[in-house]
Structure 1
Amino acid sequence: MTPALNSLSQRIAARLSSSQRDDHYLHNDFHALTAATLDMEKRFDRAERIPSPPQEMRLEALRRFRLAQELTEREWRMVFYGLADNDPLYPDQPILLEDDTFFPRVNSAIKKRIETKTLKRRDWAALCSSYFAYQHQLPETNPHWCVLRGHIAQGYLVVKAAIRREKSWMKTIEFYHDIFTPQAGGVISRQLLAGENNSLSSLEKNRANP
């Protein structure tokens, strides 16, 4: 499980602990929580089956980006995919999500695409990939990661508006709408407290098919 999802799991567990003190009850729900978070990770990993590009392609784009070279739209997408990538050629160089010098340029590029409503679905998926790939024990303490989270939430509205018919992966985003907010996990917490043992797996049953 990635640190981002592990952090989400811990927040949900804390909510459960504050709402229900019975040890047996919590023991059962922690099993359900584990199943739910693993299910979530799988769903986001395979959403629309958009595979992550090879690392070398991402690194090449990242190097061009750091050299301030003009990037194509495809190269920008590689950068969006590589926000959490370490470059083995430059081991002392921070990843973009922790780089105070270069992240502002990424921030501006994302904001421009959102404001002009030109953010593509694959670009949004790339941002999600970096969001979940970020390796940090407490990702929410990184302001750049929090900014990315906000962009993903806003960007989803742009992507949604450009798609005429709701896709299956969109149902997951719509239902668990708080996953890209500081309150992430609230929906899952409420479902677990209500006795649903497999919150995410029950999603398809609870939502009408397109």
Structure 2
Amino acid sequence: MEAAIYTAHMATRKPPGHKRAFECLTPAEEVTHPRQQRMWAVSCKCGWRDPGPYAGLVAAQDAYRAHIQRAYDERVLSCRRCGEVKELPRRLVQQGHHICADCEKERQDDWRTKNQERYHRSQRNATLKKKYGITVDDYERMLAEQDGCCAICPSTALEESKFFHVDHCHATGRVRGLLCNACNRGLGQFADDPDRLRTAAAYIERYQ
């Protein structure tokens, strides 16, 4: 009987020139149920083959992963950017970037230089998402709803700094609005206590 061959890519998590193939060793006439456990062999485009036999695809996949691991451990590839033959970082090879660490840093620096606005926006987006759970688009929407001013006073962002402070409740983490530096520090000094703020407002009005 002619063996059935099943091929599949392992995404980018393999060195160049590798592609797996599973060979079913169980004759078709012996398969009586779709879920019947079959015997498998596994091979690779690079010429490696493990005849097994392995009981089930999972065991054959594990053998192929071990082969790929050895390929990584023994890899000595040439950098596509500088052309030098050297040890390449495994992380970069797995991501499909077959370049050395120095060239990768140079590539990233070049990209940041050419895409400064996009880079800074992505960095600010990551910071807002991590600290407050909002995105740059959310920030810009809130700023538009406040007519470009502080949520408490008529100060604008351009008067003090490039961005407003994102005011949030320290107990619940809920974002309340965008404040200028003075208002944000003022609320912090009063510990976000409405009663203390009302008392302070009455105190000031009493002596005006």
TM range (shorter): under 0.3
TM (norm. structure 1) is: 0.19
| Structure showing the higher strand proportion among its residues | 2
With CA pairs under 8 Å and 6+ residues apart, which has the higher RCO, 1 or 2?
A: 1
TM (norm. structure 2) is: 0.19
Larger radius of gyration: 2
| Structure showing the higher helix proportion among its residues | 1
